[in-house]
């Protein structure tokens, strides 16, 4: 291992699932721009499709992953175990000085756990977020990853407060802002040059953009039925664009609701979109309706109204300062709220502190000082 002040630092950046790619892209770039760091991307293969993975590497101008573990889908235990077994081998061969993980997916948990047991320091980007809801797999992944990481990089004040309340020593914690917003700032102009609005025949601010994939919403028949009713109610008033996550599409099939979904007039049911097309659709939407984590933050930065169909959020700054509102999966309430937002026009709100396009550089500078 190469160590000591000023000596080179080899970093393995872990990506696994779709929401990881736009976080690691700016980090890899910032590491590469720094003379001390050698940056490698390890893709666990938790997501593996062209549309859930490959297109993001091209659009975000990332190199092909240096290492690909090909773990694929499975139960939580299967997926986590496969990542752990494969990543243990990677550590033995690559001998990195640091493992960097982002977010809260199973690959985040698996790789941090393997690294810490091999005595390789772990940096967790997007640390400290808590929904308080331990029925979410992501919440368990966040709690465990934070508790074993050496460097915790935080996006919003609630994360600082949560880590302090959990007794994490201050020296490990850095308030740096949001690397996902770094990617948004970098690629916003390029997204504006996509033709997605014209391709779909949509006017700016005329449509609802929808995404849904949380197990709590789509793995239950009642949840999926409520989603169908919501889509019907919203599409009765204006176009609804719905790039559908594979999990959600599978569930519509499993519960025998696919025909009713396809029959909704004014619903643009799309395959999962690339980063640039989705960014463009978000920026120009009248309102976004979602159960995603990251979209709450992106809409806050873009000042686009967002309804999040969950009971809680691990990103409270998007409500306190941003454009986000929580709402139960109640079709009539959602339809009423969406109709009301339309009359209010563009949302207000402010970008949270340090969501400025420079979070990755702050992380690299902090690591340069500490390693």
Beta carbon nearer to ligand UD1, 245 or 280: 245
Of residues 38 through 67, those in contact with ligand UD1 by CB under 6 A are 46-49, 52-53
Name the minimum Å distance from CB 347 to ligand UD1. Answer: 24
- Distance between CA 338 and CA 253 in Å, rounded? 27
- Distance between CA 114 and CA 88 in Å, rounded? 6
- The most distant pair of C-alpha atoms in the chain lies apart, rounded to whole Å, by 63
Beta carbon nearer to ligand UD1, 138 or 232: 138
What tokens were used for 89? Answer: 């081998």
Name the minimum Å distance from CB 248 to ligand UD1. Answer: 8
CA 273, 279, 281, 282 torsion: positive or negative? positive
Phi, psi of 104 (to 5 degrees): -145, 25
Rule CB under 6 A: choose which of 24, 60, 105, 341 binds ligand UD1. 105
Of residues 148 through 167, those in contact with ligand UD1 by CB under 6 A are none
Name the minimum Å distance from CB 184 to ligand UD1. Answer: 17
Binding to ligand UD1 by residue 28, rule CB under 6 A? Answer: no
Binding to ligand UD1 by residue 250, rule CB under 6 A? Answer: yes
Rule CB under 6 A: choose which of 9, 12, 17, 359 binds ligand UD1. 17
Beta carbon nearer to ligand UD1, 105 or 234: 105
Q: Is 339 exposed, middle or buried (0-12, 13-18, 19+ CB in 10 A)?
A: middle
Binding to ligand UD1 by residue 106, rule CB under 6 A? Answer: yes
Between the CA atoms of 317, 323, 328 and 331, what dihedral angle is there, to the nearest 10 degrees?
A: -170
Rule CB under 6 A: choose which of 34, 246, 257, 337 binds ligand UD1. 246
DSSP 157: H
Catalytic residue numbers read 213
Rule CB under 6 A: choose which of 67, 133, 137, 327 binds ligand UD1. 137
Name the minimum Å distance from CB 129 to ligand UD1. Answer: 12
Rule CB under 6 A: choose which of 13, 15, 19, 150 binds ligand UD1. 19
Nearest residue to 226 (alpha-carbon basis) of 263, 252, 207, 265? 252
- Distance between CA 135 and CA 117 in Å, rounded? 26
> Residue 8: how many CB atoms within 10 A of its CB?
12
Q: Which residues bind ligand UD1 (CB under 6 A)?
A: 17-19, 46-49, 52-53, 73, 104-106, 137-138, 213, 245-247, 250
């Amino acid at each position: 291992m190469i160590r000591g002040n000023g000596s080179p630092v080899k970093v393995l950046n872990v990506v696994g699932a779709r929401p990881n790619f736009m976080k690691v892209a700016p980090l890899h770039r910032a590491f590469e721009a720094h003379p001390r760091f050698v940056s490698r991307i390890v893709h666990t293969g938790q997501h593996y499709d062209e549309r859930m993975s490959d297109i993001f590497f091209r659009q975000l101008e990332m190199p092909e992953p240096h290492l690909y573990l090909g773990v694929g889908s499975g139960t939580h235990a299967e997926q986590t175990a496969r990542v752990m077994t494969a990543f243990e081998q990677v550590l033995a061969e690559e001998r990195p000085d640091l493992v960097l993980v982002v977010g809260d997916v199973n690959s985040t948990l698996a790789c941090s756990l393997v690294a810490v047991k091999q005595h390789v320091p772990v940096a967790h980007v997007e640390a400290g977020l808590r929904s308080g809801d331990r029925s979410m797999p992501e919440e368990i992944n966040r709690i465990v990853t934070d508790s074993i990481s050496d460097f915790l990089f935080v996006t919003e004040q609630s994360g600082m407060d949560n880590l302090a309340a959990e007794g994490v020593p201050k020296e490990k914690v850095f308030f740096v802002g949001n690397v996902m917003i770094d990617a948004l700032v970098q690629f916003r102009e390029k997204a504006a040059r996509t033709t997605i609005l014209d391709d779909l025949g949509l006017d700016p601010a005329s449509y609802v953009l929808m995404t849904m994939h949380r197990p709590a919403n789509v793995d239950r028949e009642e949840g999926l039925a409520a989603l169908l009713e919501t889509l019907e109610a919203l599409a009765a008033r204006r176009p609804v664009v719905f790039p559908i996550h594979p999990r959600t599409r599978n569930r519509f099939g499993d519960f025998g609701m696919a025909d009713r979904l396809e029959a909704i007039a004014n619903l643009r049911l799309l395959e999962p979109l690339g980063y640039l097309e989705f960014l463009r659709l978000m920026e120009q939407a009248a309102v976004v309706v979602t159960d995603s984590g990251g979209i709450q933050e992106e809409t806050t930065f873009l000042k686009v109204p967002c309804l999040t169909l969950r009971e809680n959020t691990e990103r409270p700054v998007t409500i306190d300062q941003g454009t986000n509102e929580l709402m139960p999966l109640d079709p009539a309430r959602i339809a009423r709220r969406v109709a009301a937002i339309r009359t209010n026009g563009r949302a207000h709100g402010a970008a949270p502190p340090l969501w400025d396009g420079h979070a990755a550089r702050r992380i690299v500078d902090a690591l340069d000082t500490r390693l």
